[in-house]
């Protein structure tokens, strides 16, 4: 089984052309579409791990819910994850201590540990068959890093109450001679099988789930879904990047693209474990890309070694002169060096993560709203963060005390991150320079079938794509969210906004917020000013 042969992008199933192993190895999870107006108590928008966990927790607490999903269940970033379930946080506990304090770093550790236990218990309770395993995790040094990072992090994890150990050798990676921190009792699963189990349990408890049902005009009274009105007392926006808000939350987090490969490896060559390095300290990005590795059962003879990394800010791969396809080449090189027993590379895919400015995600009431809630900013810890999102919002709506509610409040102001904030804002506004720069191609003639690009025509920017039948599709390249100039992503065959991470298919259909609507189709004129509808 492999998905390296290209499939036409089906945005109901996934948000890019490359299929993840999880999506390729499971049946699409489909429900009815919304086809009439109705009233519900709690409307949940988004069918990833955050939305489904919220639905499950709220039903358990005795509420009535309706969940609507634009594509199919898991068609967003949940279906493109690598599903490490861990309390080893991307941004490190010693950084959390600096940004917040020791007490809050410990609270964060406690919350992610609780999310691991919640997932474990729910899988047992609902008898979800999803290859769930408790495994150990190992954090080792990136080639650009020094042992001081591990020493600082080890001390901080201890202060945070975690049962970590410092080891003098990285288990199972021969070429890594240095130290590592061991995190016992982490976990892993097959995300799509887990989501299927949650969805089944939700339906069993009387919850309503709809797929291919897009929510628009989200407000305190509910939302329009497929043109029908759903009235609700509470609205939870679990769309990974919030689609209810134009600006506030999008100045607190930034989109990054991250890459994954899946390689066959003979069973028994490696133990089921999680491995991460400490990140590239020479990287130009504020969120330093790191490598993340795990094993999944593939068939009777083979496991799949799933390795991710080589991140960059969305739409800005070329700023490092490393286009998307070369990111996979780098990732394969890195993996082969450390895991020489791997055989064929049978999967590759990429996805988007939202990096919060102060290293903690956002869960709770949307700033300025009383009955609209968001779950976002989960960086590479979305399995536990999305789970926490469901747990915390369920408690808020139920009126139950929750010890983590303030920590993750979307309205918090964190002054210690001003430098990083200003650098990310600088990067974001720098993208507006694309308004006056040349497009990346001069003429649609340059495009081969299956390729896209952005053309400048005076001050106009046009996103063009030549399909497999040689037809050109042309849309405005201006993001309808806040006017960023879209960039062509040749690997996932999408147009991506470098400002806030909105993404569009080659047909101009929005596949990632914060943009709410599709790209306008346009006609472009040829050099002789002859009007040409390029779709003909």
Ligand X SMILES: Cc1cc2nc3c(=O)[nH]c(=O)nc-3n(C[C@H](O)[C@H](O)[C@H](O)COP(=O)(O)OP(=O)(O)OC[C@H]3O[C@@H](n4cnc5c(N)ncnc54)[C@H](O)[C@@H]3O)c2cc1C
Give contact residues for ligand X (rule: CB under 6 A).
45-51, 68-71, 75-78, 80-84, 214-215, 238-240, 243, 258, 260, 292, 308, 351-353, 375, 378, 380-384, 386, 513
Give dist(CA 313, CA 328) in Å, integer: 16
Token pair 């009955």 is found at 371
114, containing H or E segment: helix 102-125
Give dist(CA 511, CA 13) in Å, integer: 11
Give dist(CA 512, CA 352) in Å, integer: 9
Please identify, using beta-carbon distances, which residue of 15 and 157 lies nearer to ligand X: 15
Q: Check: CB of residue 43 under 8 Å from CB of residue 221.
A: no
Please identify, using beta-carbon distances, which residue of 70 and 153 lies nearer to ligand X: 70
* Residue 221 C-beta: closest distance to ligand X, Å: 16
Which tokens in the block code for residue 255? 């989109």
* Residue 438 C-beta: closest distance to ligand X, Å: 31
- The CA-based diameter of the chain, rounded to the nearest angstrom, is 71
* Residue 383 C-beta: closest distance to ligand X, Å: 3
Please identify, using beta-carbon distances, which residue of 361 and 439 lies nearer to ligand X: 361
Quote the DSSP letter at residue 533. -
CA distances from 205 to 50, 72, 237 (A): 18, 20, 21
Please identify, using beta-carbon distances, which residue of 157 and 241 lies nearer to ligand X: 241
532, containing H or E segment: strand 531-532
Rounded (10°) angle between helices 191-204 and 49-60: 30
Token pair 């210690």 is found at 416
Give dist(CA 347, CA 1) in Å, integer: 9
Rounded to 5°, angle at Cα 120 from 204 and 29? 45
Q: Check: CB of residue 232 under 8 Å from CB of residue 221.
A: yes
Please identify, using beta-carbon distances, which residue of 71 and 315 lies nearer to ligand X: 71
CA-derived radius of gyration, the chain: 22
* Residue 458 C-beta: closest distance to ligand X, Å: 33
* Residue 182 C-beta: closest distance to ligand X, Å: 18
Please identify, using beta-carbon distances, which residue of 149 and 240 lies nearer to ligand X: 240
* Residue 15 C-beta: closest distance to ligand X, Å: 7
Residue ranges with strand state E in 88-179: 133-140, 165-167
Give dist(CA 293, CA 306) in Å, integer: 6
Please identify, using beta-carbon distances, which residue of 14 and 487 lies nearer to ligand X: 14
* Residue 319 C-beta: closest distance to ligand X, Å: 20
Residue ranges with strand state E in 88-154: 133-140
326, containing H or E segment: helix 324-338
Please identify, using beta-carbon distances, which residue of 13 and 475 lies nearer to ligand X: 13
Residue nearest to ligand X (CB): 382
* Residue 362 C-beta: closest distance to ligand X, Å: 11
* Residue 432 C-beta: closest distance to ligand X, Å: 25
429, containing H or E segment: helix 418-430
Burial of 164 (0-12, 13-18, 19+ CB in 10 A): buried
CA distances from 382 to 63, 490, 517 (A): 25, 26, 25
* Residue 112 C-beta: closest distance to ligand X, Å: 9
Please identify, using beta-carbon distances, which residue of 261 and 499 lies nearer to ligand X: 261
Please identify, using beta-carbon distances, which residue of 188 and 456 lies nearer to ligand X: 188
Give dist(CA 157, CA 66) in Å, integer: 39
Q: Check: CB of residue 325 under 8 Å from CB of residue 345.
A: no
Please identify, using beta-carbon distances, which residue of 384 and 476 lies nearer to ligand X: 384
How many CB atoms sit inside 10 A of residue 301's CB? 8
Please identify, using beta-carbon distances, which residue of 339 and 362 lies nearer to ligand X: 362
* Residue 456 C-beta: closest distance to ligand X, Å: 30
* Residue 38 C-beta: closest distance to ligand X, Å: 16
């Amino acid at each position: 089984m492999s998905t390296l042969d290209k499939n036409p992008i089906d945005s109901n199933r996934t948000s890019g052309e490359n299929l993840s192993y999880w999506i390729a190895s499971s049946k699409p999870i489909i429900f009815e579409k919304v086809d009439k107006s109705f009233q519900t108590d709690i409307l949940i928008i988004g069918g990833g791990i955050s939305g489904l966990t919220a639905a499950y927790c709220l039903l358990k607490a005795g509420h009535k819910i309706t969940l609507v999903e634009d594509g199919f269940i898991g068609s967003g970033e949940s279906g493109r994850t690598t599903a490490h379930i861990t309390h080893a946080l991307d941004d490190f506990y010693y950084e959390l201590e600096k940004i917040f304090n020791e007490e809050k770093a410990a609270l964060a550790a406690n919350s992610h540990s609780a999310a691991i236990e919640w997932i474990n218990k729910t899988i047992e309770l609902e008898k979800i068959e999803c290859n769930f395993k408790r495994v150990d995790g190992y954090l080792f040094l990136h080639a650009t890093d020094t042992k001081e990072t591990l020493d600082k992090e080890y001390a901080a994890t201890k202060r945070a109450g975690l049962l970590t150990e410092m080891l003098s050798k990285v288990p199972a990676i021969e070429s890594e001679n240095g130290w590592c921190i061991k995190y016992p009792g982490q976990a892993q699963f097959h995300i799509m099988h887990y989501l299927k189990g949650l969805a089944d349990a939700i339906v069993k408890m009387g919850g309503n789930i709809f797929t291919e049902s897009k929510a628009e005009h989200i407000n305190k009274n509910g939302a329009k879904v497929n043109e029908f009105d759903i009235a609700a007392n509470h609205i939870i926006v679990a769309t990974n990047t919030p689609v209810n808000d134009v600006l506030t939350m999008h100045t607190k987090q930034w989109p990054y693209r991250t890459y994954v490969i899946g390689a066959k490896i003979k069973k028994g060559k490696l133990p089921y474990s999680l491995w991460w390095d400490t990140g590239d300290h020479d990287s130009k990005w504020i969120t330093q890309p790191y490598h993340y590795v795990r094993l999944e059962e593939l068939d009777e003879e083979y496991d799949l070694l799933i390795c991710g990394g080589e991140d960059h800010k969305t739409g800005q791969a070329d700023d490092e002169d490393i286009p998307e396809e070369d990111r996979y080449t780098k990732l394969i090189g890195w993996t082969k060096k450390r895991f020489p027993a791997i055989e064929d590379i049978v999967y590759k895919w990429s996805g988007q993560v939202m990096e919060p400015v102060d290293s903690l995600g956002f869960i709770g009431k949307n700033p300025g709203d009383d009955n609209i809630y968001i779950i976002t900013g989960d960086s590479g810890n979305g399995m536990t963060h999305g789970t926490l999102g469901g747990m915390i919002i369920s408690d808020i709506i139920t009126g139950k005390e929750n010890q983590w509610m303030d920590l993750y409040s979307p309205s918090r102001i964190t002054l210690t991150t001003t430098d990083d904030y200003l650098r990310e804002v600088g990067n974001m506004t720098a993208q507006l320079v694309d308004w006056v720069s040349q497009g990346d191609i001069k003429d649609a003639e340059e495009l081969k079938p299956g390729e896209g690009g952005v053309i400048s025509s005076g001050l106009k920017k046009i996103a063009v794509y030549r399909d497999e039948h040689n037809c050109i599709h042309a849309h405005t390249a201006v993001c309808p969210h806040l006017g960023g100039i879209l960039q062509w992503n040749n690997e996932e065959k999408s147009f991506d906004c470098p400002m806030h991470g909105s993404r569009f298919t080659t047909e101009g259909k929005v596949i990632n917020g914060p943009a709410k609507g599709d790209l306008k189709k346009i006609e472009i004129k040829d050099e002789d000013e002859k009007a040409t509808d390029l779709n003909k």
